[in-house]
Structure 1
Amino acid sequence: MSVNPMAYETQFFGFTPQTCMLRIYFAFQDYLFEMMLVVEGVMLKKLDSIPGCKIRPPQIRKCTEKFLLFMREHFDNLFATMEEVMLQLVLNIPKNVLLPEDRVQEQYPYSKEEFQALQDELQQLQQQCRAEAALEQALRAELEEQKAVTAELEKILQCFDGLENICREHGTGNFKESFALLTKSSKKLQDVLKDIEEKSKKIKQHDRLV
């Protein structure tokens, strides 16, 4: 059996030529064995019909096996020649023939260095695509956060509008001025509360000393 990998032929046919020849070989072997059994059966029937025949079935089987061995040896020699012809002429693609899917390589030839450069460029582009996808995802998350903040601000503005309407209804004037005054008053109250807390701490410390 040939040891040539014949990769191009395998690409074209979809199977290795050696495998094809091996299947043909086994098919011929099986057919030869079946034919010898048929011949043996016919001979046994003929012998049964001959009166006083001294040839016994075991002798017929022995002769059949010898003849089968003889046929197999000659068949192997013939098959070796047939295999050589099939692999060189029938199942062989000439060196100057390109498959349709490989003709583009003839139109656009490239060296190993150019192919490696293309591989490197492709890898860089893939990394850039992944980085841009991650950036897009981050921007989408930020946009969703901005939408949530905008919704909260709208709620606050609606609340301020409601307070301003309440102030107008009760004659307290401009809500902004009232809010500013309320802020100042709150600051004063915080200062007074802080002063009271400090005085309270001093009194407690004085009581402990006494």
Structure 2
Amino acid sequence: MSVTPMCYEAQFFEFTPQTCILRLYITFQDYLFEMLLVVERVIMKKLESIPGHRISKFQIRESTEKYLHYVNERFNHLFQKMEKCLLKLVLRIPRNIVLPEDKVQVQYSYSAEKFQLLQSETETLQKQYKAEKMATQSLLAELEEQKVVQAELEKVLAWFDGLDKICREHGNIDLKESFAFMTQASLKIQGKIKEIDLKNKKIKGNESFIPINFQTRKKL
């Protein structure tokens, strides 16, 4: 049997041609052996119906094995021819035939240098993709933070709207003027507090330097 590797044929048939031929050979051998066993049983039955025969079962089995050996030699010789025919004409893909999944390689053939260039470009694109993915994730995180800040700002604006409504209900029409007045009043209060603190410090300092008069007893 041929041992030449037929990888392209195995890719197309999904089995190796040698395996197919081996299975055919084993199948024919099994069928031939079973057929001779049937013939042997038929011969024995025929001899049992003939009275006075001198042929033993051992002789029949010996003759069957000789016939099997003879037929097997002829079969092997014929099977070798059939194997060559199958491998050359039936189970072989011609060199000029390209499988559909390999047509792309024929149309776009690349050398080793081009393959390395494409591989380096692919790695560069993968790095760019990872960088863009990380940038997108950071932008999405920042967007979520902005949404949180926007929600807080909306709460502050809602609070200001409520405060403005309260001011209008109590006769103060302009909320900005109210805040300006409150700021000026706060500054004035802070100034007064500073003046009081300075005066308090001065008073404490003067008290610490007041001279003490000691009265002397007059002698009688």
Q: TM-score, normalised by structure 2?
A: 0.72
Separation in 2, partners of 1:92, 1:147: 68
Q: Which has the larger radius of gyration?
A: 2
Separation in 1, partners of 2:178, 2:57: 127
Match of 2:72 in 1: 72
Please say if 1:33 is aligned against 2:69.
no
Which stretch of structure 1 is more off in the superposition, 99-108 or 161-170?
99-108
- Ranges in structure 2 where 5+ consecutive residues have no aligned partner: 198-220
Q: TM-score, normalised by structure 1?
A: 0.75
Separation in 1, partners of 2:76, 2:49: 36
Q: Mark the CA change 1:172 to 1:28 in structure 2 (over 3 Å): closer, same or farther.
A: same
Amino acid at match of 1:82: M
Match of 1:207 in 2: none
> How many equivalent pairs are there?
193
Match of 1:14 in 2: 14
Q: Mark the CA change 1:142 to 1:7 in structure 2 (over 3 Å): closer, same or farther.
A: same
Once the two structures are superposed, residues 163-183 of structure 1 have per-residue CA deviations (whole angstroms, 9 ceiling, x without a partner) of 121122223453334345556
Secondary structure at 1:77's aligned position in 2?
helix
The equivalences for 1:60-209 within 5 A come to 60-172=60-172, 174-180=174-180, 182=182, 185=186, 188=190
> How far does residue 148 in structure 1 lie from its aligned partner after superposition?
2.1
Q: Mark the CA change 1:163 to 1:12 in structure 2 (over 3 Å): closer, same or farther.
A: same
Normalized per residue, the structure richer in helix is 1
> How far does residue 32 in structure 1 lie from its aligned partner after superposition?
1.0
Q: Mark the CA change 1:88 to 1:169 in structure 2 (over 3 Å): closer, same or farther.
A: same
Separation in 2, partners of 1:180, 1:128: 54
Please report the RMSD computed on the Cα atoms of aligned residues, expressed in angstroms: 3.0
Q: Mark the CA change 1:124 to 1:22 in structure 2 (over 3 Å): closer, same or farther.
A: farther
Separation in 2, partners of 1:145, 1:62: 96
> How far does residue 2 in structure 1 lie from its aligned partner after superposition?
2.1
Q: Percent same amino acid at aligned positions?
A: 60
